[in-house]
Amino acid sequence: MTWDDVVALGRELPEVEVSTSYGTPALKVRGKLLTRLRPEDDSLVLPEVPAEECEMLIDADPDTFHTTPHYDGYAIVLARLGTLDAARLMPFLERRWRAIAPKRLAASFVARGARG
């Protein structure tokens, strides 16, 4: 998977825009971070992943999911693009999108029969 693939997936969700965060490519919804690229290890920063889930993901698939000391203590997991695929990424994007999108936008998206 490439950053362009991530952008294409993200744009399946309403009002996702390409932006930057900490000087790196990012996807945002009305200025709120959906995900961003970590070019130093070609990984995505996936916010709002509970610690227990982070641990489970890293234990189950350490080739894809990982962390660094910088992210210790935060609800964030990193995912290597080289071993990530759309089917595994989209649930993270959707969950984060639902958390940061305006409530009316999220409700109308679900009401239209969007991803459930």
Determine the structural domain holding residue 94 and report its residue range. Answer: 3-107
- Is the overall model pTM greater than 0.95, yes or no? no
Give the residue-averaged pLDDT of 2-20. 97
- Cα distances (angstroms) measured from residue 26 to each of 61, 63, 73, 102, 113: 24, 22, 22, 19, 27
Residue 77 lies in a domain: yes
What does the buried/exposed string (b/e) look like for 73-85 if buried means 16 or more CB atoms within 10 Å of the residue's CB?
eeebbbbbbeebe
Residue 65 lies in a domain: yes
Residue 37 lies in a domain: yes
pLDDT digits (tens, 9 = 90+) for 32-65: 999 999 999 999 999 999 999 999 999 999 999 9
Residue 112 lies in a domain: no
Give the residue-averaged pLDDT of 88-102. 95
Residue 100 lies in a domain: yes
Structural domain count, the chain: 1
Which CATH number fits the domain that encloses residue 7?
Answer: 3.90.1150.30
Residue 102 lies in a domain: yes
